[in-house]
Structure 1
Amino acid sequence: MNTPEIFRPRHASEIDRLIAHHPLALVISSEGTQIEASPLPLVLQRDTRGEGVLIGHFSRHNPQLALIRRQPRALVAFSGAQGYISTSWFRDRRYAPTWNYEAVHLQVHITLEDSPEAAAAALDTLVAHVEAPYPRPWHASEMGARKAQLAQHIVAFRARILDTQAQFKLGQGDPPEVMEDTYAGLERYGQHALALAMRRRERLEAGPAT
């Protein structure tokens, strides 16, 4: 990924936030001329040293699984808020249109954990993460015997993070008038998530109030 300094996140916590709020990633593997990619929801866990691992699972019928057994290195691509910024929103129409976005790419080493216990644990981890925002979160244990049946059809994995690249292109360097027009356009056309991401970036870069 091309990561100009101006678009790199200023706070490492922003990478973890993006992964937590946008857990569906594209897991990409290659070997020779074979390339496989699977959209998978993943959960990031970090140890006391900050080293990260992604918890997930493959369907046993996924052809990428055989490739992973031979070649465990992979690229995991997460996308956050994104959207088109139209020059038609601007008072000064000399500016070119652009696309703003949040993206995190992780180089990983995948370890498959092909056991019923690992499959059940991976399901529990994912369900606990995605159900957490709800007032009456559902638990995988509520499936009863169906949980064990479902676990037979998946292979759990842990993906150890080897390298991280991130680009949060959110209006850095744009003059105040352009930013004002951009926010107005995003709100007008329902791009609220991107507007929130841009405002969060501004707050983080401004630092604590004094």
Structure 2
Amino acid sequence: MPRPINHQLRQARADDILAAARQQLAEHGTEGLSLRAIARRLDLAPNSLYNYFPSLDDLITALLVDAFGRFAEAVTAATASSAGNSSWAQRFATICAAYRSWAVTNRTDYDLIFGSAIPGYHAPEDVTGPLGLRSFQSALRLLIDAWRAGALAIPARYQAVPPEVAPHLHLLMQPDEADAPLAIAFLMLVVWSRLHGMVMLENHGHYDSAVGETAAFYAHAVSCLIDEIGLRGT
């Protein structure tokens, strides 16, 4: 039976284990992640890790929860910092910039939550699903608020949401957003797909020789995207 551990010491050790796991992911990818390798990195007995994470799946879930949480906090903080001081377009650009900044600064975490699946691991949807939506909701709410203020003119090509997609878009909307058209959620998913694609290409070195200054490329692409989706400057 595991011995009781002081709460603060336990949390500190759990944080050490998570940090070692991130380093393992950065160096060896998802296939190189193992409790034994992490224990060796921390100079611990492998069995001692089970006091903190009963299985490798539990450790991976903890990594996902932590990464999703920090990602959502970065996006939410960017949303809050821009409120009331900028135009709708500038505020949305700030969110998009925060998205890239976190993703390129925390590449291992970003790859963990949005990259290749980990062999044999199945994320608990009831845990990771809401966390994934949290990072998405700030930008979606801004677009809905802009639409309510008459600052978002949804292009016609985005308004015809495929009937096969519509039921899933309802799940993205909050109860107090029921007045907004589903086209905004569809539009937001298109935006996210573009941002994700650019970030993944940058993180894996595919932009280096193609665009030179990736930050400038991304910022201009976001500006073009804002125009494309009908978000006005004021």
TM-score band w.r.t. shorter chain: under 0.3
More helix by share: 2
More strand by share: 1
Under a length normalisation based on structure 2, what TM-score does the superposition of the two structures give? 0.26
Higher relative contact order (CA 8 A, sep 6+): 1
